[in-house]
Structure 1
Amino acid sequence: MTASDRAASPRPLPKPGILDIAAYVGGKSKVEGIAHPVKLSSNENVLGCSDKAKAAYRDAVDRLHIYPDGKSNALRAAVADRYGLEPERLTFGDGSDEIFALLCQVYLEPGDNIVQGEHGFAAYAIGARACQAEVRFAKEPKRRIDVEETIKCVDERTRLVFVANPANPTGTWLTGEEIRELHAALPPSVILVLDGAYAEFATDPRFEDGLALARETQNVIVTRTFSKIHGLAALRVGWGYADFGIIDPIERIRPPFNTSIPGQDAAIAALADREFEAASVALVEQWRPWLAQQLGGLGLTVTPSAANFVLVDFPTTPGKTALDAEAFLASKGYLVRAVANYGLPESIRITIGREEHNRAVVDLLAQFLAR
């Protein structure tokens, strides 16, 4: 469609490519006939959030009539202090999703491209296509980002390479050595985006969060979110850390009041509650291997995960498929996530729940497979 076609149209038309984008679909939160299902479909923190964060949220009620600090200065200082970062090299977003979109707006022109894994998070591709850029999907042998396959996709029009570590929806991860190998193979003009939404749950000593790499280089940005480990998904607060040369252009187009007063205050309080954070990690560390072992005992294949969820493969036999399993669990009040839209039609993703949730899921899937 040309500009003349749009100008001659009897109604406003979006720019080319927008209507070809598949809108993001989140995990299910409701099921007909069940008032309060157990939601294990969106990788939320099943412990909720810190009591300190709740108190900070409540205390913000008398300031709802004023604009928030557009630079998130108090939160900026808290994040910088917690992780030993330079405050001026931070940016804050309406969740880390907004930072991905801003990166695309800053760096992508029509004809440019991004590279992501073939099972990568949908938000990366949505942001790129909205800028009329191409999305290249690197093959993921064993459902892991592969350095060689990723580099094969990079050319002179590549501007961003997105790597979630650990990855969603697979839960797989790269070692610090592998991340540095990938970075070293990229042209200096290409930004490596390290999405650390689930970084706190990756406790293997070979895992690195990428912050040191971002400090030492000019083409790496690390993003984090308060939605997962801190349980503040409803408040939408994320942050990114990079060289000032990356942060400055993002700040120039970032919406001026994109994080709220309650969100900023709750995030500051959540950062200070190390006890809640430790409890959240401990729950996942205890039940993630148990759930994988139990599901494996049912004859199902579980992808090794470093996140707060597991990815489970089901047979292709009619009545035993991943979609059948998702529907069966929903009928019993347990919501999980089928991930065919991520190129994994035989899999469902299950958030690690409390003990009673995990045991119930295993028992229900045993019933499902025995039908």
Structure 2
Amino acid sequence: MTAPQPKPGILGIEAYVPGRAKLAGHGRAIRLASNEGALGPSPRAIEAYRAAAEDIFRYPDGSSTHLREAIGAHFGLDPERIVCGCGSGDLLHLLAHAYAGEGDEVVHTEHGFLLYAIAARAAGATPVAAAEPDLVASVDAILERTGPRTRIVFVANPSNPTGTYLPAAELARLRDGLPEEVLLVVDAAYAEYATADDYDSGQGLVDRGANTVMARTFSKLHALAGLRLGWAYCPAPVADVLNRIRGPFNVSLPAQAAAAAALADTAFTERSRSHNARLRDAVTARLRALGLTVPDSQANFLLARFPGRDGRDAGAANAFLNARGIIVRQLGAYGLADCLRISIGTDEEMTAVLAALEAFMEDPHD
């Protein structure tokens, strides 16, 4: 009997493998693999989530109207050009399906978020990787890889898993260098953590023309990863396209309520941001003192490159940490097998991971 077959290319997609959440033999592991908000969600968000339980027998607002208005007011954006989705990854997939297909190409950076290539292939397009010298996106390399078949360019700013970023002038140079018919998608999932004076989330580029989209999420700084909620700020025609193909009730009622409350709690947001900046700087210095190569990060994680000599390689370090109940992210799938990505957690969690790495670098066979 012949079974139904998927479209060509689907079975060639390597499924995304998320960071581990559990370790055998460790009841409650220290989870530093998925870049979740270290301090958890705002108490106001939790309260709003619980209050929404009374109405979960009803469908949510299919347009996320109140939430879009809250986002618009918070960031100074036109809510009519905001589209909400089940995580920003949902919106990246929708953009790929809407604007790329068989015979088209989608450009992304060499070490960029794995979902870009997955979304391209799922849409029938071909992903094209642009070199990332020194672990930083290169505008020249992206433009060099852009050709007549390019339909979308995905750029994470700050980038995952490197934590590096494109300054505002470089991001603008990228947009100016791309053909007008190519859609530039700036994935700014970690924008709230960026502290560089010349950082740009891409918001201004969206307002400037009809060919740039900025994608954002509530999973990181606002720590609502379990509710799955992202949003995109788009040119009006792109917003119209996304609204035509997205699910009719694609954001749950509790997610909408919690996200709006999280935005309103600016004091908690600032506390979370300050916590991250403080620990990010301190942990970077400690890791470098251990002999690891760590690029400056603008996100809520650090990329640590291991020297690879005398047993001090990333794979051995990962096993060493796992044995002590600590989960970080291996990066072989990103072409960075000699690196680990370490999320910024609580003070206690970072003390534990630093102590473990210090012991590893002193004696990896202990």
TM-score with structure 1 setting the length: 0.96
Indicate the residue corresponding to 2:211 in structure 1: 219
Indicate the residue corresponding to 2:85 in structure 1: 93
- Residue 140 of structure 1 deviates from its aligned partner by 0.4
Indicate the residue corresponding to 1:59 in structure 2: 51
Indicate the residue corresponding to 1:152 in structure 2: 144
> Could you list the per-position Cα deviations for residues 307-357 of structure 1 after superposition, in whole angstroms to 9, with x for gaps in the alignment?
000000112236321111111111111110011100101000000112121
User: Given the alignment, which residue of 304, 308, 322 partners 1:312?
Assistant: 304
Indicate the residue corresponding to 1:72 in structure 2: 64
State how far apart, in whole Å, the 2-side matches of 1:54 and 1:166 are: 28
> Could you list the per-position Cα deviations for residues 109-131 of structure 1 after superposition, in whole angstroms to 9, with x for gaps in the alignment?
20101000000001111111011
> Could you list the per-position Cα deviations for residues 33-73 of structure 1 after superposition, in whole angstroms to 9, with x for gaps in the alignment?
00000100000011010000000000011111111111000
Does the 8 Å contact 2:291/2:307 carry over to 1?
no
User: Given the alignment, which residue of 261, 264, 269 partners 2:256?
Assistant: 264
> Could you list the per-position Cα deviations for residues 100-156 of structure 1 after superposition, in whole angstroms to 9, with x for gaps in the alignment?
000011011201010000000011111110111110000001111101100011111
- Residue 303 of structure 1 deviates from its aligned partner by 1.5
State how far apart, in whole Å, the 1-side matches of 2:315 and 2:20 are: 13
State how far apart, in whole Å, the 1-side matches of 2:268 and 2:339 are: 31
Indicate the residue corresponding to 2:341 in structure 1: 349
1:237 counterpart = 2:224: no
In the TM superposition, 1:1-371 aligns within 5 A as 10-317=2-309, 319-371=311-363
> Could you list the per-position Cα deviations for residues 142-184 of structure 1 after superposition, in whole angstroms to 9, with x for gaps in the alignment?
1111011000111111010001000000000011111000000
Corresponding residue SS for 1:303: coil
TM-score with structure 2 setting the length: 0.98
- Residue 192 of structure 1 deviates from its aligned partner by 0.6
Corresponding residue SS for 1:81: helix
State how far apart, in whole Å, the 1-side matches of 2:345 and 2:222 are: 15
State how far apart, in whole Å, the 1-side matches of 2:128 and 2:201 are: 24
Give the counterpart letter for 1:76 in structure 2.
R
Corresponding residue SS for 1:344: coil
**Where does structure 1 differ by over 3 angstroms across 4 or more consecutive aligned residues?**
none
> Could you list the per-position Cα deviations for residues 11-34 of structure 1 after superposition, in whole angstroms to 9, with x for gaps in the alignment?
111111111101011111100000
Q: Percent identity?
A: 45
State how far apart, in whole Å, the 1-side matches of 2:330 and 2:187 are: 22
RMSD (CA atoms): 0.9
Give the counterpart letter for 2:259 in structure 1.
A
State how far apart, in whole Å, the 1-side matches of 2:141 and 2:61 are: 43
- Residue 284 of structure 1 deviates from its aligned partner by 1.1
State how far apart, in whole Å, the 1-side matches of 2:99 and 2:5 are: 24
State how far apart, in whole Å, the 2-side matches of 1:210 and 1:313 are: 29
Give the counterpart letter for 2:296 in structure 1.
P
State how far apart, in whole Å, the 1-side matches of 2:165 and 2:243 are: 30
Give the counterpart letter for 1:209 in structure 2.
S
Q: Which moved more, 1:51-60 or 1:326-335?
A: 326-335
Gaps of 5+ in 1: 1-8
Give the counterpart letter for 2:112 in structure 1.
G
State how far apart, in whole Å, the 1-side matches of 2:328 and 2:116 are: 23
State how far apart, in whole Å, the 2-side matches of 1:286 and 1:145 are: 25
> Could you list the per-position Cα deviations for residues 210-230 of structure 1 after superposition, in whole angstroms to 9, with x for gaps in the alignment?
111101110000010000000
State how far apart, in whole Å, the 1-side matches of 2:53 and 2:155 are: 37
Does the 8 Å contact 2:143/2:178 carry over to 1?
yes
The aligned length equals 363
Corresponding residue SS for 2:337: strand
Gaps of 5+ in 2: none
State how far apart, in whole Å, the 2-side matches of 1:356 and 1:66 are: 41
